[in-house]
Chains A and B, each alone.
Chain A
């Protein structure tokens, strides 16, 4: 017998199916968009929520974590917009800010018309109405990935940003996502293309109240030849939120990407990074810092595809864990036969501040070219007692000495942010975690 076993739907899966049926007619885009959404949702529904028997989700069993599907917010209330103001980070950073509250654009908080010269910011709904169907296609990332498929199916409010050839945008573009009010689901999708020789700083933030929200965000970034992009992410969701995030970047020849993220929030978070090197001599630096206490769960999953010669990729992820928190780092570097002279290095370090915290790391290399330098490593350790004693012997109380050592640990990641105000804001967030350890 070879009968296919039809899985019994969980409450969350049934809820998602109902939600898609209810929402589909009103989702933006023409026929093609509707078909792409349908395909994506079917791909999801065929397999359901991934569980620990699915290799890529082994440490983050989404079926167990996601008990039910939260409702979408159809119309954004003024009260929620007002409440979101206090939850917005980077308030004093000089940036072009576009704010989504509960997955919906909040025009009164956004500066859609203040885009600097040479950059176009279009709402996803408008782009889809004008038939820019590629907004729903994401090359270089697996379409059947549950988080991506759900985003493609449901995304309604989002942005398409393009920077013209040769234009350097100095002011950062800050896409802020805030969740507030009753527990809900929010999908966000931002697609960015940076033209030849152009440059851009993109900041994304995720924050909110402690309700059990479910967020699913996707950023697609296309770098043309010689383009440069800096990507900063603050994941500071409320502590009840389930955060699923995808960052997919395609790099053309000699382009350069720097990405720094700080994960300090969410009950459970999975951030997926897919990089594809498409042109020669491109470089990418992906750095992440994370903090978790309580019973929180932080997953960073990276897949780096080297598909062109002479490119360099660097990943450094540092996580400090307290309480019964758990971190997962999965990093895979794939080097195709054409990608000679690839230089790829990946490192994950976890610092355990309690005996009940746990860090898992799964690095993988798949190398099909012979002239490459690739390496990865992972370390898990506790605070060094000798260093702690040295600091205490100088008068630092234990908690303060520990905080200083944790700060030193993640400092390496946060210091890679070149923008002073943004770096200071991230450091301040790190300091707050060290006081609260939540």
Chain B
């Protein structure tokens, strides 16, 4: 599904990713953990196509398609979704309008017909309900006046609606209370499927109790420095990152 080889990327001449390799197969859930500043968000932005970053070496493909040859919207239509660590607020764009515009843009890009409004409304209501997002919130400007946790739930709502192939979740658990964590995890688990993969970036083992990963990676200084099973997260929880920081240096 996702294949990243020897990825190097920099921002403002500062090298952040330094030869990162990652293979995610269809249906798998991979967790990436790692100290602050190790480049986890950078990786997610580079995959999604934020143009502040420069890819200096390496490749990334999604089902064989070269991600770096596509604009961000084309990557989305190809099935990539990034749940932002810090979702943005857009006053004046109603959440509902935004969801509809996004869904129809992707359908159009894939040559599918736009979804008629009544069907769309029904679909949104259903998915919003399961994430405890009220109709009132959907009428508000996108993320405007949403609490931190509500913003994260709104990211998962978008994901559920757009049904991507590859979901990259950048610290979607940060800022969630215990109930919200369970709601969001259920939302993610409901999306798990044979032909859908997840890259879950997190600092907390707690999330991985809900969304059980197939593979856990440790990222430090712009590279994957260790890969293991779900038990690796427990080990990190107990021992921290000190070992890896020395190794990677």
Chain A residues within CB distance 8 Å of chain B: 385-387, 389-398, 400-401, 404-405, 407-409, 411-412
Interface contact A405-B93, CB-CB below 8 Å: yes
For A407, give its contact among B48, B92, B106, B141 (CB under 8 Å). Answer: B92
Complex CA gap A435/B203 in Å reads: 44
Interface contact B88-A387, CB-CB below 8 Å: yes
Interface contact B91-A408, CB-CB below 8 Å: yes
Min distance, Cβ B33 to any Cβ of chain A, angstroms: 23
Who on chain B is nearest to A389 by CB? B50
Min distance, Cβ B71 to any Cβ of chain A, angstroms: 7
Known contacts A400-B105, A404-B98; A394/B90 CB under 8 A: no
Number of A-B contacts (CB under 8 A): 78
Interface contact B90-A405, CB-CB below 8 Å: yes
For B71, give its contact among A392, A404, A405, A408 (CB under 8 Å). Answer: A392
Interface contact A386-B73, CB-CB below 8 Å: no
15 A-B pairs in the complex with CB atoms less than 8 angstroms apart: A386-B88, A389-B72, A392-B71, A392-B73, A393-B72, A393-B82, A394-B98, A394-B162, A395-B77, A395-B102, A395-B109, A395-B162, A396-B73, A400-B101, A404-B98
Complex CA gap A401/B93 in Å reads: 11
Chain B residues within an 8 Å CB radius of A396: 73, 101-102, 105
Who on chain A is nearest to B161 by CB? A394
Contact with A along B218-233 (1 / 0, CB 8 A): 0000000000000000
Complex CA gap A395/B158 in Å reads: 11
Min distance, Cβ B18 to any Cβ of chain A, angstroms: 24
Complex CA gap A400/B101 in Å reads: 9
Interface contact B72-A392, CB-CB below 8 Å: yes
Name the prevailing secondary structure of the A interface residues. helix
Chain A residues within an 8 Å CB radius of B184: none
Chain A residues within an 8 Å CB radius of B68: none
Who on chain A is nearest to B47 by CB? A393
Min distance, Cβ B86 to any Cβ of chain A, angstroms: 9
Min distance, Cβ A100 to any Cβ of chain B, angstroms: 35
Known contacts A396-B102, A397-B105, A400-B105; A412/B72 CB under 8 A: no
Chain B residues within an 8 Å CB radius of A395: 73, 76-77, 102-103, 105-106, 109, 162
Who on chain A is nearest to B72 by CB? A392
Interface contact B76-A392, CB-CB below 8 Å: yes
For A393, give its contact among B48, B91, B97 (CB under 8 Å). Answer: B48
Instruction: List residues 141-172 of chain B with CB under 8 A from any CB of chain A.
Output: 141, 158, 162
Chain A residues within an 8 Å CB radius of B50: 389, 393
Contact with A along B44-64 (1 / 0, CB 8 A): 000011111000000000000
B120 interfacial contact with A, CB 8 Å: no
Instruction: List residues 64-95 of chain B with CB under 8 A from any CB of chain A.
Output: 71-73, 75-77, 81-82, 84, 87-88, 90-93
Known contacts A392-B76, A393-B48, A405-B90; A398/B84 CB under 8 A: no
Min distance, Cβ A318 to any Cβ of chain B, angstroms: 10
Min distance, Cβ A403 to any Cβ of chain B, angstroms: 10
Chain B residues within an 8 Å CB radius of A405: 90, 93
Complex CA gap A392/B48 in Å reads: 9
Chain A residues within an 8 Å CB radius of B76: 392-395
Interface contact A390-B84, CB-CB below 8 Å: yes
Interface contact A387-B90, CB-CB below 8 Å: yes
Residue among B73, B81, B84, B162 having the largest count of chain A Cβ atoms under 10 Å: B73
Interface contact B92-A409, CB-CB below 8 Å: yes
Interface contact A404-B101, CB-CB below 8 Å: yes
Interface contact B162-A390, CB-CB below 8 Å: no
Complex CA gap A339/B76 in Å reads: 57
Chain B residues within an 8 Å CB radius of A397: 71, 73, 105, 109
